[in-house]
Amino acid sequence: MMPWPIALLTLFYGVIAAASAASVWKIIVGISQQSALWPIAWLAVSAALMCGLPMLKSWARRLAVFASLAMMLMTLALAALLVMKAQPLFGLSATLGAAVHILVIRYLQRPMVKAYFAGTANQS
């Protein structure tokens, strides 16, 4: 049985995969003129995490830590831009959003969680 934090994290990456797929589709259809690089990259990463985390693959845990670190840095960059545009309240809320990614990284780095993922790596 999968722990509920891993299930919630899988759901979170499923939402990111759906949003990225929608962005890629808008680019393909011609509705959006943005670059396809980032939506395709996030679609690939989030789809891999959506499949790897429920199967408790050790590579998925490492990829989730990397993805959360990337999202935390992007959220903090957004917070800095909001503060520079004289919107400190929105900048503070974005900074608090970055704390969620820190919690995810800390959870995935716990020895118990690492052992949980490592235990399934030996079975498959």
Select the more confidently predicted residue: 119 or 108.
Answer: 108
**Residue 122 in this model has a pLDDT that exceeds 60:** no
CA–CA dist 117, 114 (Å, integer):
5
Which two structure tokens, joined as six digits, stand for 46? 């989030």
Which two structure tokens, joined as six digits, stand for 10? 């899988």
Centre a 10 Å sphere on the Cβ of residue 79 and count the other Cβ atoms it contains: 21
Q: What is the band of 121 on the pLDDT scale with cuts at 50, 70, 90?
A: very low
On whether the CB atoms of residues 79 and 63 are closer than 8 A, the answer is no
Q: What is the band of 120 on the pLDDT scale with cuts at 50, 70, 90?
A: low
Select the more confidently predicted residue: 2 or 4.
Answer: 4
**H or E stretch covering 108:** helix 88-108
Q: What is the band of 116 on the pLDDT scale with cuts at 50, 70, 90?
A: confident
pLDDT at 123: 53
**Residue 1 in this model has a pLDDT that exceeds 80:** no
Cα–Cα nearest to 13, from 81, 84, 66, 76: 66
Cα–Cα nearest to 60, from 50, 69, 70, 68: 50
* pLDDT tens digits, 12-46: 999 999 999 999 999 999 998 999 999 999 999 99
